[in-house]
C-alpha cells in the first residue's frame, strides 16, 4: 500500500458503495414495475375454430357460428361476442365465403331469412344478399368478411380473427 | 466545466454552506443508537417511494382493491418486491420509530431545550401508527376488513363521543366503500402531508440544537 486511505475516505467510499447497491436494488425493479405493461403481450389476433367443415355440407346455405373473445387488461376481463355465417360456394373445401354477422350500419346482428334469401338486420330493416352486398337500407358498405381461414388436419374450420 | 457549473450554482444557492451546516455539523461522540432517527427518515422515504409506485396499480374500490393487489403480486414485474418492501418496511418503521423514542427517553434527550422536538416526535409516532392503521385496510382481504372493523369499534367505545368517532372513521355506520376510500386518502395524502410537515419541524429543531450528548456518570 503506497497511499493508505484515511478512515474518513474509506467510510465515505463505503457509504457510496452500499448506498449505490441499495439504490440499484430498489431503483431498477421500480423502473421495471412502472413500465411492465409495455412488455405484456395481449395478442389482438388469433385463429378461432368455428366448427367441423363436414357439418356444413350444403352449397349456398349460410351456416351460423359464434365465438367469444375475452380481453384481459390487468385484473379486468372483458368478453365480446362475435358471429357470422359460413357459405360454401362449391364443393371444394377451400371455396368458402365467411361473413361477419355484424351489420355495417350500427353493429346489430343480422339474421338469415330463408324465405327471402337475404340477411336481414332487425334494427333498421337493412337487407344484404348472400354475398353480403347491401340490397336495401342504411348500411354504408357490404358485410365484412373473414378472408383468412384454414381447415385443420381433423377437418375443423378455423378463421383468422383480428381485432379492429 | 463541472466546477464552473457548480460554482455558479453555489454562488446562488449556497450549496457549500448548506452542506457544512446540514451534513457536516459537529456531532457529539458517535453512538449507533443515535442513528435511529436517520433510520426512521430513511424508512419514511422508502415507504413513500414504494407507496407511490404501488398507486400505479392499486385501486381503492371494494370491487378492485383485492384483485389489483393480486395482480401486483402475481403479474407485475417485481410487483412482489415493491409491495414486499412496503409491507415489511411498514412494520420495521413502527419498530424503529419506537426504538428511537426509547433511546431519546433513556438518554433524557427530551429535556431543555429539546422539549418541542420530543412533542413533535410524539406527533410523528402517532402519525406513523396512523399510517399503519390506514394501510392495513387497503388489501381489502378478510384480515384487513375485520382488523379495521375491530379497530374502529375500539375507537367507538370512547364515552359520549364514541359513535361520532366511529362514524367519522368509517364514513358511516358500516365498514364500506367509503371507509376504504377515506382510509386510502388518509394513507396517501393526509397522513403523509402531516408526516412531512412534522419531519421538517423535527429536523429543523435538531439542526438548530445539535444532537444531545450521550449522558455521562456525572449526568
Structural domains in chain B, sorted by start: 34-138+186-209 (1.20.810.10)
Q: Assess whether A27 and A101 both reside in one domain.
A: no
Report the CATH number at residue A95: 2.102.10.10
Burial label for B105, CB within 10 Å (0-12, 13-18, 19+), is exposed
How many Å apart are CA A44 and CA A124, to the nearest integer? 31
Structure confidence at residue B74 (pLDDT): 94
Q: Assess whether A35 and A111 both reside in one domain.
A: no
Question: Which among B68, B77, B82 is the nearest to A75, CB-wise?
Answer: B68
For residue A109, pLDDT beyond 60: yes
Chain B hits for A34, CB-CB cut-off 8 Å, are: 53, 56
Range A95-108 average pLDDT = 90
- For cell 402517532, name the residue: B126
In a domain, A139, yes or no: yes
Q: Assess whether A86 and A136 both reside in one domain.
A: yes
In a domain, A31, yes or no: yes
Q: Is A24 on the interface with B (CB under 8 A)?
A: no
Q: Assess whether A80 and A34 both reside in one domain.
A: no
Contact yes or no for A32 and B77 at CB 8 A: yes
> Which residues, other chains included, contact A162 with Cβ-Cβ below 8 Å and sequence gap of 6+?
A44, A45
Burial label for B134, CB within 10 Å (0-12, 13-18, 19+), is buried
Q: Is the peptide bond before B113 cis (omega within 30 degrees of 0)?
A: yes
Phi, psi of B134 (to 5 degrees): -70, -35
Q: Is A147 on the interface with B (CB under 8 A)?
A: no
Q: Is A36 on the interface with B (CB under 8 A)?
A: yes
Q: Assess whether A21 and A55 both reside in one domain.
A: no
pLDDT band at A72, cuts 50/70/90? confident
In a domain, A61, yes or no: yes
Structure confidence at residue B77 (pLDDT): 92
Q: What radius of gyration do chain B's Cα atoms show? A: 21
Q: Assess whether A33 and A109 both reside in one domain.
A: no
Q: Assess whether A62 and A119 both reside in one domain.
A: yes
Spell out the long-range contacts of A70-76 with Cβ–Cβ below 8 A and sequence spacing 24 or more: A71/A42, A72/A42, A73/A42, A74/A37, A74/B57, A74/B68, A74/B71, A74/B75, A75/B64, A75/B67, A75/B68, A75/B70, A75/B71, A76/B64
B191 with B142: CB under 8 angstroms? Answer: no
Q: Which chain A residue has its CA at the smallest distance from B84's CA? A: A26
Q: Could you list the residue range(s) of the whole structural domain that residue A54 is in?
A: 45-162
Q: Assess whether A26 and A90 both reside in one domain.
A: no
- For cell 435511529, name the residue: B36
Q: Is A26 on the interface with B (CB under 8 A)?
A: yes
Q: Is A30 on the interface with B (CB under 8 A)?
A: yes
For residue A1, pLDDT beyond 60: no
Q: Which residues in chain B land under pLDDT 70?
A: none
Q: Give the count of domains, chain A.
A: 2
Structure confidence at residue A152 (pLDDT): 87
Per the document, the length of chain B is: 219
| ipTM higher than the 0.85 cut | no
Range A80-106 average pLDDT = 88
In a domain, A2, yes or no: no
Q: Assess whether A112 and A31 both reside in one domain.
A: no
Q: Assess whether A107 and A73 both reside in one domain.
A: yes
Question: Which among B56, B71, B85 is the nearest to A34, CB-wise?
Answer: B56
Q: Assess whether A32 and A53 both reside in one domain.
A: no
For residue A164, pLDDT beyond 80: no
**Would you call B75 helix, strand, or coil by DSSP?**
coil
**pLDDT tens across B82-109, in order?**
999 999 999 999 999 999 999 999 999 9
- For cell 348500411, name the residue: A139
Q: Which chain B residue has its CA at the smallest distance from A77's CA? A: B67
Q: Which of these, B89, B87, B122, B92, lies nearest to B104 by C-alpha position?
A: B122
Q: Is B78 on the interface with A (CB under 8 A)?
A: yes
In a domain, A1, yes or no: no
Q: Assess whether A77 and A130 both reside in one domain.
A: yes
Amino acid at each position: 500500500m503506497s497511499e493508505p486511505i484515511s478512515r474518513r475516505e474509506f467510510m465515505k467510499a463505503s457509504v457510496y458503495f452500499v448506498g449505490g447497491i441499495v439504490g440499484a436494488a430498489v431503483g431498477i425493479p421500480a423502473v421495471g414495475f412502472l413500465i411492465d405493461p409495455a412488455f405484456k403481450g395481449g395478442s389482438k389476433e388469433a385463429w378461432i375454430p368455428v366448427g367441423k367443415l363436414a357439418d356444413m355440407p350444403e352449397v349456398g346455405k349460410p351456416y351460423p357460428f359464434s365465438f367469444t373473445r375475452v380481453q384481459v387488461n390487468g385484473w379486468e376481463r372483458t368478453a365480446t361476442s362475435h358471429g357470422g355465417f359460413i357459405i360454401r360456394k362449391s364443393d371444394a373445401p377451400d371455396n368458402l365465403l365467411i361473413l361477419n354477422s355484424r351489420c355495417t350500419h350500427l353493429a346489430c346482428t343480422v339474421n338469415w331469412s330463408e324465405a327471402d334469401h337475404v340477411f336481414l338486420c332487425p334494427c333498421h330493416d337493412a337487407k344484404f344478399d348472400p354475398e353480403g352486398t347491401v340490397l336495401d337500407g342504411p348500411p354504408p358498405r357490404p358485410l365484412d368478411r373473414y378472408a383468412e381461414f384454414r381447415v385443420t388436419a381433423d377437418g375443423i374450420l378455423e378463421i383468422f380473427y383480428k381485432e379492429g | 466545466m463541472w466546477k464552473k457549473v457548480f460554482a455558479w450554482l453555489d454562488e446562488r444557492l449556497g450549496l457549500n454552506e448548506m452542506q457544512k451546516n446540514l451534513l457536516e455539523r459537529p456531532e457529539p461522540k458517535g453512538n449507533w443508537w443515535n442513528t435511529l432517527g436517520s433510520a426512521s427518515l430513511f424508512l419514511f422515504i422508502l415507504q413513500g417511494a414504494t407507496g407511490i409506485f404501488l398507486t400505479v396499480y392499486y385501486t381503492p374500490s371494494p370491487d378492485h382493491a383485492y384483485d389489483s393487489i393480486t395482480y401486483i403480486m402475481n403479474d407485475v414485474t417485481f410487483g412482489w418486491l415493491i409491495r414486499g418492501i412496503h409491507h415489511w418496511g411498514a412494520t420495521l418503521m413502527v419498530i424503529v420509530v419506537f426504538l428511537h423514542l426509547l433511546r431519546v427517553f433513556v438518554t433524557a434527550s427530551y429535556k431543555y431545550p429539546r422539549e418541542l422536538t420530543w412533542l413533535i416526535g410524539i406527533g410523528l409516532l402517532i402519525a406513523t401508527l396512523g399510517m399503519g392503521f390506514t394501510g392495513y385496510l387497503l388489501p381489502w382481504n378478510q384480515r384487513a376488513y375485520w382488523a379495521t372493523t375491530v379497530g374502529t369499534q375500539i375507537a367507538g367505545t370512547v364515552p359520549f363521543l364514541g359513535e361520532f368517532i366511529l362514524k367519522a372513521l368509517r364514513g358511516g355506520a358500516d365498514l364500506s366503500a367509503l371507509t376504504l376510500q377515506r382510509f386510502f386518502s388518509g394513507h396517501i395524502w393526509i397522513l403523509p402531508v402531516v408526516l412531512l410537515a412534522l419531519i421538517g419541524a423535527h429536523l429543523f429543531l435538531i439542526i438548530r440544537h445539535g444532537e444531545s450528548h450521550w449522558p455521562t456518570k456525572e449526568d
